[in-house]
């Protein structure tokens, strides 16, 4: 039942890409028909001038024919302009409707193992489709179905001329099909090479300080140059292919036009055709084959737009939901982690297996363990960043998927291991880009993080722009603003991954105070830590080793306090059903004493 609902939802959402375009398409077809009928004006005008005005020597006839032709040409140009403006506005509307959806998917893609560059490409797909619609390609595609009009006109002048033009149209159509077949794979490879080049450029820019400090910026540049060379080679191959087909089609058109003139002259000599009909046939044959020639010239943008549209269709479908989650009461009782197994989205490797524990409101949990054991994976599962393969994470009994995303976001505060701030003001970062002014809530969160006094000393206080990635302030200040952001709105579940990695003594004191305040108001706090000072206010401790929850229980049972130099720390007492953590409690206590 759910699968059928999801299939219907995906079909419905995919239809959004072309919603409302059917009537516009019919209108464009009608306009294209008028444009192509009026395009016969030149042929008819030349035939009448040669066969009527010149033979009669009548200036009045010439003027009358010229005025009629001018009016018809103006109508043709007007309809052509209307078609172009409609296509331009379709592209703008497409961008307006789909770009936010593409950006929403781009935000989600990195947490599923995609690079930032691949995510940004989804936004560029919208630009590709819009640019194609605003170019010359769609006009050529709308004109191609009307080629039989010109061939029929030429056939009426003489069957042999019609047959010659038809043969040329068939050859050019075959060229178009060949261009599609050969360009498809090359265009895909060229796009992949462009993504590879952008990945290296993004990596180099992100690690600029390291490259400069340790002197291997030159080698990084050469690595980029190699990727750039591969990309240029693929681009050259694609351009050579399309250019070759385009050049051949132009030559074929010239040959065909000359052949029509030559055959027309032969038929005129034989008395089967008038002189005016020769010129009319030449102009009509040229106009008949122009859409095919133009389609070949615009084939790369067409292929790129088609591939981009297919990816955007996948993008829209990716956000489809069979059922919209119902609004639930704000959580306030407990967090239950029930036998969850989590894998890395990019590789599928299982990083966390069969983890279970319960935390009640007003409790703080410290998660410790060796590097690479699965602590950050647990955090990503608890916040819903990574989906679980098996098991569930529940707030007040409801799985995370049952909460509307914005409602869940208000209930969760998250401080990641690497704090990234938006290119916005301090206020906007702390308030999570709140659409309504909430100065009291922002100040309360900053005070809870011990950051208010530091913020007001900034050049513009809370309205100070932080720049890209928050580079206008220090790492410690970024971490504390990130903490204020996590505390904003009094969330029920606050999760912190290495919250004191960049903090000084004052910052750690503020962190401990914030945790105590969270517990006092009935929140749940999850803290991943390597430094023991971060666990001063926790009640429970869980130990993650090799992707397993090796122990979970009260802090004084998992980490025994030091009893003196001669005393040995008692072994940790795991919860029933959990394996004993050999030596880890002593190791963590030794780190605490040395700290």
CA-based angle 174:179:180, to the nearest 5? 100
496 bridge partner residues: 415, 527
CB 179 within 8 A of CB 296: yes
CB 176 within 8 A of CB 292: yes
In a domain, residue 125? The reply is yes
**Do 424 and 512 share a domain, yes or no?**
yes
Q: Tokens at residue 568, please? A: 């040995």
Q: Tokens at residue 350, please? A: 């299982």
The DSSP letter of residue 262 is H
Instruction: State the Cα–Cα distance between residues 290 and 80, nearest whole angstrom.
Output: 15
**Do 302 and 357 share a domain, yes or no?**
no
Q: What is the span of the domain harbouring residue 125? A: 2-318
**Do 376 and 305 share a domain, yes or no?**
no
Distance, CA of 5 to chain centre: 26
- pLDDT for the residue 13: 57
CATH code, domain carrying 167: 1.20.1560.10
Q: What is the pLDDT along the chain (595 residues), one digit of tens a residue?
A: 445 555 555 565 556 667 767 788 888 889 999 998 898 888 888 888 888 888 788 888 889 989 999 999 999 999 999 999 998 888 888 888 888 877 877 777 777 777 677 777 777 888 888 888 888 888 888 888 888 888 888 888 889 988 988 888 888 778 777 777 776 777 777 777 887 887 788 778 777 767 777 778 888 888 888 888 888 888 788 777 777 777 777 788 788 888 888 888 888 888 888 888 888 888 888 888 888 777 777 777 887 888 888 888 877 776 665 457 888 888 999 999 999 999 888 777 899 999 999 999 999 999 998 888 889 899 999 998 888 889 999 999 999 888 888 888 899 999 988 888 888 889 999 998 888 888 999 999 999 888 898 899 888 889 988 877 666 678 888 888 999 999 999 999 999 988 877 777 777 888 888 899 999 999 999 999 877 777 888 999 999 998 999 999 998 888 765 333 333 334 434 444 344 444 444 444 444 444 4
**Do 309 and 339 share a domain, yes or no?**
no
Boundary of a domain, candidates 270, 285, 318: 318
**Do 517 and 581 share a domain, yes or no?**
yes
**Do 38 and 8 share a domain, yes or no?**
yes
In a domain, residue 328? The reply is no
In a domain, residue 168? The reply is yes
CA-based angle 14:18:24, to the nearest 5? 165
- Residue keyed to tokens 């829209």: 316
CATH code, domain carrying 466: 3.40.50.300
In a domain, residue 324? The reply is no
What pTM was computed for the model?
0.70
In a domain, residue 251? The reply is yes
**Do 388 and 497 share a domain, yes or no?**
yes
**Do 382 and 312 share a domain, yes or no?**
no
**Count: domains in the chain:** 2
In a domain, residue 325? The reply is no
**Do 435 and 503 share a domain, yes or no?**
yes
**Do 567 and 435 share a domain, yes or no?**
yes
Q: With H, G, I as helix, E, B as strand and everything else as coil, classify residue 444.
A: helix
- pLDDT for the residue 273: 84
CB 487 within 8 A of CB 449: yes
Instruction: State the Cα–Cα distance between residues 379 and 592, nearest whole angstrom.
Output: 23
């Amino acid at each position: 039942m759910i699968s059928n609902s999801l299939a219907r939802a995906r079909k419905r959402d995919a239809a959004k890409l072309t919603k409302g375009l059917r009537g516009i398409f019919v209108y464009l077809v009608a306009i294209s028909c008028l444009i192509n009928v009026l395009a016969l004006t030149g042929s008819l005008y030349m035939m009448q001038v040669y066969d009527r005005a010149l033979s009669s020597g009548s200036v009045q006839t010439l003027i009358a024919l010229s005025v009629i032709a001018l009016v018809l040409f103006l109508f043709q140009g007007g309809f052509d302009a209307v078609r172009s403006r409609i296509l331009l506005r379709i592209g703008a509307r497409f961008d307006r409707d789909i770009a936010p959806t593409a950006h929403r998917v781009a935000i989600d893609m990195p947490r599923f193992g995609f690079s930032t560059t691949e995510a940004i490409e989804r936004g560029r797909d919208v630009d590709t489709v819009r640019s194609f619609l605003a170019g010359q390609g769609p006009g050529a595609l709308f004109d191609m179905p009307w080629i039989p009009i010109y061939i029929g006109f030429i056939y009426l002048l003489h069957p042999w001329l019609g047959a010659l033009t038809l043969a040329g149209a068939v050859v050019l159509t075959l060229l178009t099909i060949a261009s599609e077949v050969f360009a498809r794979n090359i265009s895909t490879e060229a796009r992949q090479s462009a993504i590879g080049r952008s990945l290296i450029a993004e990596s180099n820019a992100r690690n600029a300080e390291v490259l400069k400090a340790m002197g291997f910026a030159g080698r990084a540049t050469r690595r980029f140059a190699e990727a750039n060379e591969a990309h240029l080679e693929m681009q050259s191959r694609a351009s050579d292919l399309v250019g070759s087909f385009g050049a051949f089609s132009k030559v074929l058109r010239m040959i065909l036009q000359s052949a029509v003139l030559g055959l027309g002259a032969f038929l005129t000599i034989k008395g089967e055709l008038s002189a005016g009909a020769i010129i009319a046939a030449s102009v009509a044959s040229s106009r008949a084959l122009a859409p095919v020639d133009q389609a070949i010239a615009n084939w790369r943008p067409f292929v790129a737009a088609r591939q981009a549209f297919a990816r955007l269709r996948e993008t829209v479908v990716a956000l489809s939901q069979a059922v919209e989650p119902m609004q639930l009461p704000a959580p306030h009782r407990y967090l239950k982690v029930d036998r969850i197994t989590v894998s890395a989205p990019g590789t599928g490797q299982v990083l966390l297996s069969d983890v279970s524990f319960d935390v009640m409101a007003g409790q703080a949990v410290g998660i410790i363990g060796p590097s690479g054991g699965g602590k950050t994976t647990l955090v990503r599962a608890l916040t819903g960043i990574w989906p679980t393969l098996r098991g569930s994470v529940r707030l007040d009994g409801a799985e995370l998927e049952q909460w509307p995303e914005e409602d869940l976001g208000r209930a969760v505060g998250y401080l990641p291991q690497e704090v990234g701030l938006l290119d916005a003001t301090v206020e906007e970062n702390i308030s999570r880009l709140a659409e309504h002014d909430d100065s009291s809530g922002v100040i309360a969160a900053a005070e809870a993080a011990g950051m208010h006094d530091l913020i007001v000393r900034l050049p513009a206080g809370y309205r100070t722009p932080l720049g890209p990635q928050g580079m206008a302030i220090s790492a410690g200040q970024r971490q504390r603003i990130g903490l204020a952001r996590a505390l904003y709105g009094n969330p029920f579940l606050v999760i912190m991954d290495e919250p004191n990695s960049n903090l000084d003594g004052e910052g750690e004191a503020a962190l401990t105070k914030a945790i105590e305040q969270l517990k006092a108001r009935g929140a749940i706090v999850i803290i991943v830590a390597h430094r023991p000072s971060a666990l001063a206010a926790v009640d429970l401790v869980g130990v993650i080793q090799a992707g397993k929850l090796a122990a979970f229980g009260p802090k004084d049972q998992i980490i025994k306090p030091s009893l003196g130099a001669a005393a040995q720390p008692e072994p940790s007492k795991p919860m029933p059903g959990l394996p004993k953590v050999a030596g880890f409690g002593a190791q963590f206590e030794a780190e605490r004493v040395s700290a």
